[in-house]
Amino acid sequence: MQKKISFSILSLKWRSSNSPRLMGKWALSLWVISLLLLCSGCVDRFLVVRTEPVGAKVFVDGIDVGISPVRIPFNFYGTRDLLVRMEEDEKRGERSLAPQRRIVKLTPPWYQRFPLDFVSEILWPGTLEVIHEEVFVLEPQDLDALSERFRSTAKEFGITSPLDDPGDSD
Residues 100, 83: contact at Cβ < 8 Å? yes
Cα gap 58→100, rounded to integer Å: 10
**52, HSE (Cβ side, Cα atoms, 13 Å):** 5
Cα gap 118→59, rounded to integer Å: 32
Cα gap 16→81, rounded to integer Å: 65
CATH of 42-145, one of 2.60.120, 1.20.1060, 2.60.40, 1.10.3470: 2.60.40
Domain spans of the chain, in order of start: 11-38, 42-145
Mean pLDDT on 65-70: 94
The helix, strand and coil proportions of the chain, stated in percent and rounded to the nearest 5, come to 25, 35, 40
pLDDT in tens, 68-122: 999 999 989 999 999 999 876 544 445 678 889 999 999 998 877 888 777 777 7
Residue 97: Cβ-neighbour burial (10 angstroms; 0-12, 13-18, 19+): buried
Mean pLDDT on 34-44: 73
β-strand partners of 147 = none
Q: What is the pTM of this model?
A: 0.61
Helix/strand/coil for 66? strand
More confident residue, 10 or 85: 85
